[in-house]
Structure 1
């Protein structure tokens, strides 16, 4: 595993700590030390970071990168499998093309970890995967955690995905019904499985119900695509009925229930921030709503929903949130430590702390200043990206 030390830069840990002229030592691909001691063990390569900013790789917790490369209907549109309303058995990992150019763009934007989710065409869309943005010949070699959560959708998108007359869902009532029926069936399935296992009897597996049973058991987060406040209320209602670990995705009108979400510790993956009010559900879209949520004590992250907003614009969205009223630390945390924590990845990524993966990005200056740029990216200590003299060099994932 790779070893490297970053010495002399302004080290921003992502957890509120800043070390001027600090050292980040990575050994065996893992951060060993973050302090102001310039000592580096013999044989460890050194990156001189004087005058530079050293940060953790950013984390985007809601993307379709690699699974939705082009426009709807194209060869690269694999994010949503809408052949049935309940597609809990499908897995986003099976749709990802790691040769998607967006992975290179992610490096240029300092993004080293992404959560790739199914789309929002179904009431239940399937499981998500967390992965590094570079480093392997296959998706499997880049996985951080799989599965991460179960994607579900409320509102207009799942209502409008099915054109046949009489086929569910056609209304918000129908969408909620699909979700409830599936969760009831999964609970009954889990009980039958447990009884069969206790008796040592054979039990036929069902992939979808296995995944939903994992969500019922709390092993997966319940990632709820939702915009309107009334749909958020439905999400809370369903989460209460079935004991789900609810995480709101988008949360356009979540600020209306900010106190409730804070009290119940329901996180919000907010965004995308750089987006038009292009549909009826997003008429109140505003970065100010993110500030309201954060001020109320809601745990928040910022997402691109790539390709809705390009993945390398994640940090630009954080800068916009900073201008709207987030503190500098809050804006950085929303794309690093807070984002990682919401996705259940906090033990590995999102911060420069001992024991975390050595995902380190060297910036020319303050990353929330638009004039700053990424100069180097290391993932698990390995250099995967460098920009010098206007030339960008990305490591060859094929080992050539």
Structure 2
């Protein structure tokens, strides 16, 4: 019966000590015995006995490679990363060079040519690895506050994915984000989020409530701020959008107006994504129902439109292929909405010059600081308001 590997090792270990002290003739006899017991050939058996007699080999020390990205680079990398809202490595690598250029232009950072080259040539995986200790995640879910519209829905066509030219700027998906703070009663502010499908250009406006008057005024303000002509709007089936007032305005202004299918949230996937990444991430989930809070939200969105459209890169889904249970998605190269607009080539010379001048004048780090300061003010304002209301309820109770 053949011995197991454990038994062979035990026999070899027991014979190794005697083998080291034995004479040449004795060693030959011991090798014959070991080969007969284990089935080893003589050369392998002798090598195993010698190795056992010497004891375990010292661990090999791997030769350390010199560090390419030293600790001196980390402060600058963290600065760029924080300026870009702590985005992932793929998005960060795509805009590393223009962001460093903007920060150096406004004296936010100072790098040598070698350091600049290292940061600009770093791969997304390397950036994620270097920033891993600093990364923090916050996952929250929002609430849907859209109510069904009127029977006017039958007059507004459902958008199909073949009707819009997704390669032309000007077709916007629109949606309202409620700031009810978990208590959807009474009057509270909403944010109107508008996203261009082709470029990702995003505009956000504060509305007092869901009344069509405020929604329409906000849409007109968004239209005036867009760097391209408004060609079409696509909304959900909420009554704030599905009304005669907005339908008549779109018809008079020759703006295509379509709606999504009921209960098909993915029909408005572009604006739904911005509801989280732009609105919720910056304003949170508090209840904002005072004039002071609405004014502060307006100030936040004035900076946010510049920050998101000029400096924050995003990716667009190119293809999605399903093979059985596995879905493979392919994305394009990350780019900012501003860069995507330039690539589309749909802007006139005057608009191009205006956008370029605005871009060169902006300091992304200063925008990020102002946004952070105003967001903290908004959170404090909301917290103090809720505390005072709680004391009033306790006093009257």
Q: TM-score, normalised by structure 2?
A: 0.28
Which of 1 and 2 has greater Rg?
2
Higher strand share: 1
Higher relative contact order (CA 8 A, sep 6+): 1
Q: TM-score, normalised by structure 1?
A: 0.28
